Structure 1
């Protein structure tokens, strides 16, 4: 018995399998949960995000759709309004532009405009991020767009454990949730281009991670780094380099953008006094600026030792060329340089 329990505790899964396990367990638990999207059926999703579900639950509950993002979300919206719990996959976050009217003017507003009479327990999933030379129309992150829209919760897991727990919470939530997974973290061999701890401990039993509770990835005393998705792992690698210089870095992974756990950031800043926010979304009018603005509005809670800094995609389209793509996406070396600048330029 002891050996069996130990084996269960150390079971490791890659991100995509942890995410699928959450969906499978919720589909088994609740018959109102179903999946729809392009190639989610027998293929199991182009990113293996629904692998095995069609065989287990059949075509009625794992529905392949035509190539029409608007139809996918329109169907999901109607089903959710009638009490179902759809999980709609749009493959690439870039494709959400095709059906943005459904998101901006229907999904996000229906509960509000019905006076709370119509609940929309709907999950929209899509892949994000660059690094694999998919060019300008397939390499964006864009979570800031959805965070800017009232009525939508935004989830951005960075590891397998969170991928499962946050998906469980998303499916059980009675509100629309945009759940974005970075392709570079999935653990698929073709996409392994950074040390991202692809397989980590994931409990077999169902569990839910509450929205709005950040994870302290690494404790430190000199600088606070707030990072999302793949940037969490680049920050971890940078922190290891900085430790050799005697610089102690604390890394915070918010896990969810809406709701956003600012209290954990404030608590960390009260210790370090220095802040770097890194993101793979665009720089201007983005998440990095929002977090720094909230810090500026709460300066009475801590004392800053240096002006906050941010790293994000500059205001350019993401290039196809590998060399140019690496120039626009924040890299470990950029993070190290930014932290060094924070340490060397006090207020």
Structure 2
């Protein structure tokens, strides 16, 4: 068994715990948090160890993998310390809040020969796996453009759950916290970005970071992209979608969480083919839970001595896009990447 420990017992930690317990070849043996009260539900439910000291947790020889579930601004220091303790790492999105911190994490993992996986679970949804396969096969032909849209609601009560939410130093706004999953998909599907131009605003939420953002991107392959992200949608989540447009095909993956094929027209696909594919996805729109897929992949990556499916470099690409959109909005100028 590969033995996991979770650092940070906030909201997302429960999802990590359940994913580990449901993953073949994995076991949860410990949690860590500076606030002892937050650990108690995990210790009692899973009959595991609890640590208020990160040093003591990392010194536990039984722990193979550290899952970092703290506020985003703390990811880098914890990850570097974990890597230096020779622990493999699963880190929640975003991998960090700066490229400098991201490079610190990646370098520490490389220097200490430990695995690094970033939690971008949407890649494992059946509709997006199908879309990725179609892209890899070149079924769209020459690409024209893509749209990445997140129209969600996060009300003021959400941000008041914890003082770090919505801050620039520990959390970020809609791009960094919510839309980064969709932006990861955009780069995963369309390839690297070379230029962005963006605007953002804080319109409805009393937070330091942005609650709405709109931007355009140019990919290195010449295609264009449109990014729209908001947590201001009334009164609840409306949609998350990603659309691809090419000379031989058009597709929109939509729904509240980008998990249904809402539109597909493609050269060589009959109407019956399309309806059959839509029905197949509708029968199982989420597939295996994304967090569980990431835990199981980490188990196999360790055993097979290979890289995880979602690497630190993948996390860096998504983060670089977010940061570039921020830089463009702040400067009111296009930003060239790389």
TM-score range, shorter chain: under 0.3
Q: TM-score, normalised by structure 2?
A: 0.27
- Structure showing greater relative contact order (alpha-carbon pairs closer than 8 Å, 6 or more residues apart): 2
Q: TM-score, normalised by structure 1?
A: 0.26
